[in-house]
Amino acid sequence: MRLDGLANAVRAVNYRRNHGSAPVEHVWFVLGLDRGRIGDRSLEALVSLVGAGPGDPMLITLAGVRALARADVVLFDALVHPALLSHARADAERVFVGKRAGHEGIRQDEINALLLSYARKGRVVCRLKGGDPLLFGRGSEEAEFLRAHGIAYEVVPGVSSVLGATAYAGIPLTHREYSSSVSFITSSEHANKHESAHDWSKLATATQTLVLFMGVRRVRNEMQRLVDHGRSPSTPAAAIEWGTFARQRVVVGTIADLADRCEAEGLGPPALVVVGEVVTLRDALQWWDRQPLARTRIVVTRPRAQRAQLASMLAERAAEPLEWAAIEPCGADEPALRDAARRASEFDVVAFSSANGVEYFFRALADEGLDARAFGRAKVACIGAATADALRRFGLRADAVAKEAVGEGLVVAVRELLGAKVEGARVLVPRAARGRDIVVRALIDAGASVELVRAYDTRVDREGLAPLREALEEGSVDAITFASGSAVDAVFDTLGHDAAQLLSPVTIATIGPVTSEAVRARGGVVTCEAKAASDRGIVEALEEHFRSARDG
């Protein structure tokens, strides 16, 4: 299967989720699937036991994504990253079947019953499990149950939490100089066992590296067992909490003091414990938590269809993106936009001030049965790189891109295209209904004939912003990003009279000076501003800020 085919499939699924118009059949085609079969095997009653990986949503396998994309029903565990569910179809049923330590959750027999019920109804089921389904999970028990009831199933391996967490912590499990053997031990055994099945007299010294799953809840007891059975108290040991998630924490010590250190740091499950000389390599090999944005929780307020790139860039830098859309674009003056789109070739320049403007303009073209050829002799100017990228997706390359991604920069770009022929030139400006008038006024003042059309409007996404106030009150937000004045107004209006106070402890990052001014106008304080008006510019501004804060 080609990687670009998988990427197209995921885009199709996400597009359908966001816009409700991309046919799901496209997903089956680009993944080489038939809706009802994989190879010669019927999918009418298939259950896929899928390893979701250790936490970081990028660590799921291609086979896992494929299983998600074709599923009618997804049953997912507590440690499955929410972003993975975006790979499922918009109409797929999503059922949480997770359990947390210390909290009563759904029982395994109830999960089994759900799997059987859905399969007997002919549904394609993805049973999404954290880590690998067969390593200290209940995947083998579920497979046995399905087989006993005549249900077809498959197992899709996943990156185990032990491999992911130790790699992200910079602790190798083996090393030619320190360890050539490793044991995996679970501290959570079957509830019916009255005593541990582990022979600690052998396990304590059997291998150079020991990994204890679920070990942080019993860390004091387990470390004492190792000492009692011959392991030196001075042996290096580490506990890794929330491995590969943005909230990952690592506590390093020895067998003798690890329990005290974990208690002092308040470490809790999910976590695993690594014992052995390999732990000493963390100082040299740690990489994930040395990144400037490591362990920061950053709100992405971009609309749902436009937030993926920024969220991905933040996640790649060890931050946890909180994807809470502030605004959503919607149609404005559609008849006027369609009329202007039909007449695109009559203008000397069409000037786009946003990617949304491009999107809605080309929708209008499509409604009229037209495409990029409708521009004819008209030249095209864009306010910045993101808008130019949006144009390219529709097969059109901008003739001019503003060097400064603000209205004033777009005016300069248009005037450069027109040269000495500004007087009497016809310029079409498709823009937001409540956009700035700077472009229109400046071009009219220069002698151009400007037609302004409201390509789209924005509405506050109150559902998207619903978690924000609680997160701010809990102090669980480190930064918030704004890419438009509309998003600023939406957030401040939603939070209400005390918005500025709630946001005062939070790093506020903006895409440029216009957006920064919108923040200040609402009483907020801008912490950092992108030098280049793009998602990358926002990320670089955040990295510079947090790097300076940590170094200072």
* Residue ranges covered by each domain of the chain: 3-159, 163-290, 297-326+461-551, 329-458
Distance (Å, whole) CA 398 – CA 404: 15
Host H or E run for residue 458: strand 449-460
Percent of the chain topping pLDDT 70: 89
Q: What class does CATH assign to 329-458?
A: alpha beta
Nearest in space to 129 (alpha carbons), one of 146, 102, 111: 111
pLDDT per residue over 212-246, tens digit each?
987 678 899 999 999 999 999 999 999 999 999 88
Same fold across 163-290 and 297-326+461-551: no
pLDDT tier, 305 (very low <50, low <70, confident <90, very high otherwise): confident
Alpha helix positions (H), 399-512: 407-418, 438-445, 462-465, 468-474, 485-495, 499-503
Decide the pairing of beta strands 271-275 and 209-213. Answer: antiparallel
Q: What are the catalytic residues?
A: 77, 99
User: 429 - beta bridge partners?
Assistant: 452
Pair 73, 93: CB distance under 8 Å = yes
DSSP-derived letter for residue 166 is H
Closest CA to 428 of 388, 381, 491: 381
Asked if residue 110 has pLDDT above 90, the reply is yes
Strand arrangement of the beta sheet that strand 271-275 belongs to = 182-186, 209-213, 271-275, 236-241, 249-254
Going by pLDDT thresholds of 50, 70 and 90, the confidence category of residue 306 is confident
Residue 7 has pLDDT above 70, yes or no: no
- Alpha-carbon distances of 199 from 185, 195, 213, 322, rounded to whole Å: 11, 11, 16, 44
Collapse the DSSP code of 359 into the 3-class scheme (helix H, G, I; strand E, B; otherwise coil) and give the result: helix
What are the contacts of 219-228 at 24+ separation with CB within 8 A? 219/258, 219/259, 219/262, 219/273, 220/259, 222/187, 222/273, 223/255, 223/256, 223/258, 223/259, 225/200, 226/200, 226/255, 226/275, 227/255, 227/256, 228/200, 228/204
**Higher per-residue confidence, 503 vs 3:** 503
pLDDT of residue 308: 86
Handedness of CA 439, 441, 443, 449 (dihedral sign): positive
pLDDT tens column, 467-489:
999 999 999 999 999 999 999 99
CB 158 within 8 A of CB 129: yes
Query: Whose CA is closest to 244, among 61, 60, 467, 62?
Result: 60
pLDDT in tens, 444-459: 988 999 999 999 998 9
Burial class (CB in 10 A: 0-12, 13-18, 19+), 486: buried
CATH class of the 163-290 domain in this structure: alpha beta
pTM: 0.76
**For residue range 118-151, what is the model confidence (pLDDT) as tens digits?**
999 999 999 999 999 999 889 999 999 999 999 9
DSSP alpha helices (H): ranges in 207-293?
A: 219-228, 258-265, 282-285
Q: Which amino acid is at 500?
A: A
Question: What's the CATH class of domain 3-159?
Answer: alpha beta
- What's the Cα-to-Cα distance from 152 to each of 124, 132, 156, 318, 414, rounded to whole Å? 10, 19, 14, 38, 62
Q: pLDDT: is 172 or 385 the higher one?
A: 172
- The average pLDDT across 288-316 equals 91
We find that the CATH architecture of domain 297-326+461-551 is: 3-Layer(aba) Sandwich (3.40)
Asked if residue 34 has pLDDT above 50, the reply is no
